[in-house]
Structure 1
Amino acid sequence: MGLELEKTETKQVKNNQGKELAVNILKKYGIFIILILLIVLMSILTPHFLSATNLINIVRQMSIIGIIAIGVTPIIITKGIDLSSGSVIALVSVVVATFAQGDFPLVVPIFVALGVGLLAGLINGTLVAKGMLAPFIATLGMMTAARGAAMLYSDGRPIGGISESFTFIGQGIIFGIPVPVIIFGLVGLVTWVLLNKTKVGRYVYAIGGNEQAAVTAGINVSRIKLMVYAYAGLLGGIAGMILTSRIASGQPQAGIMFELDAIAAAVIGGTSLFGGIGTVGGTIIGALIIGVMNNGLDLLGVSSYWQQIVKGAIIVAAVYIDSRKNRKK
């Protein structure tokens, strides 16, 4: 009898350990498993999905959103938000297009793009960190102002005449890899290092976890917030440059809804809207999930309207799961 009871208890312990292991695996690799399952599903539903050309095309298409999403991730970790990314891209696009003509060397439009994006980010950061405005209000104002500035600068019309050297940034290929994908990878790597291997990264997580405790610990919270918004603006400048180069024109209507796709990618990738939690890798996978879903549904001939509904449902589900996690803590 005692032996049977001991065997039962041992079996229960093993079952509990197995369940705990499964839960830990899902917590750590759940988003990656979802991406793999989505790829498998799409490859079954449409034979064209799994071709090398299509897979590279997915990453190339999502590189712009992915770069913006990587920029917005540290902001969300600090319990902030950035609604201005799409409009900043439009402003960068029309301004950089006037400097991407044959009269200027390639370095000029590159620095112009980075400068315009950085300036917009610094304004956002100043309003939030120094002006003590709610991030939602500050970046909503920038969203409206930047879009208006783009329309005013271009008189509401596209700006063409882009040089071939500049279009290489968005259309070129190096060793079989599209240049936007290479830039996307480099941005991801640099941001990962900043968040995981530097003091600034540790401060970002500390502020998101408990801002008051961060202040007590001597962290200059306003400076860190200014930095993360400026960095997001800088990446917005890179994204705007790539988009302008890819379509070979400056478009004042560019980037509409890009900020929501970027926020969605970050949240789907596990970045918590409650702050303190988020990874660059998760955001990249979140962007790829959106890209795989969009591409697969396009190949299946699903209406873009239905795609928006599906995307909205996924965002709501991700936020709901995030809120449930935080309630349990």
Structure 2
Amino acid sequence: MEKTIIFILILLIGTPFLIPLFIEKLDVPLIYQLTNIDLNKITLFYNPKFLIIDYSKDGSEKNEFKKYQIDRLKGIIALAYLSIGEAENYRYYWKDDWYNNPPEWLDGENKNWPGNYKVKYWDKEWKNIIFDYLDKIISQGFKGVYIDLVDSYVYWANNGYNIKITANRMIDFIVEIADYARKKNPDFLIIPQNGEEIIEYDNGRYLNVISGIGIESLFYTKLKKNKEKYIDHRLKYILKIKNSGKPVLVTDYIYNPKNINKEKIMDFINLCNQYGFYGYPANKNQRLNDISDALKFFKNK
């Protein structure tokens, strides 16, 4: 018996292309990872319905994914992360002279996320940067974009602007992004993250153009269960989007590698199942720089 096991191990080491035949992939609703991305690892061990990743392995233009790599994600809805409310100083479009001589549309640095700077997203120059970014993403073969910082309309409302104006400017921008992308790929998905309350200012255009919504920290804020009043308030808007036939992707940061709380993870999974959401129990550090080992609990759902 021992000789047989040793022989099999030698065979596998000698022929690594056979290893996938001995691995049972884990079906999971969602994986959300923005750095240290290893597509081979993801497809070897997991079969996610949705996969949210950066357009690049590490955010740089040098290491952007090639079309053949994205094309290999068969059966997976691959979405590229795209921040439209902040400029990121590690992106290809960033110019070093912006530190001392910023364009009119570039605002202050986000204290919580160094290297990220608020932008006046309604500015034509910024919009053109995003459209150029979209060209890259579309050419890579992504099925859509996962749009972050939609809730920037609230930031500007808190900094001297009328919230009805900032909300409608954001809706305008989302519609423009959808129109631009779908002229090149009619099936291109537009999934914003958070900012669900914007539908209070929507006349139907926003709800009609988006393909779904991504939500963070809905049931848990890190390791603490949110109050029912908070959850219900957000669900009022989220369920309106879901009931229009669009998927809801939920990422709660509840996995602590040093102190795994299975009860909380299973509660999150069960709540997502209850509402028909696609859930991802992410690492509590919120960096999205790994694949959460909490995915193993989907075996027990």
| Larger relative contact order (CA 8 Å, sep ≥ 6) | 1
Report which of the two has the higher share of helix. 1
User: Is the pair's TM-score, using the shorter chain for normalization, greater than 0.5?
Assistant: no
Q: TM-score range by the shorter chain?
A: under 0.3
Question: More strand per residue: 1 or 2?
Answer: 2
The higher radius of gyration belongs to 1
The normalised TM-score by structure 1 is 0.26
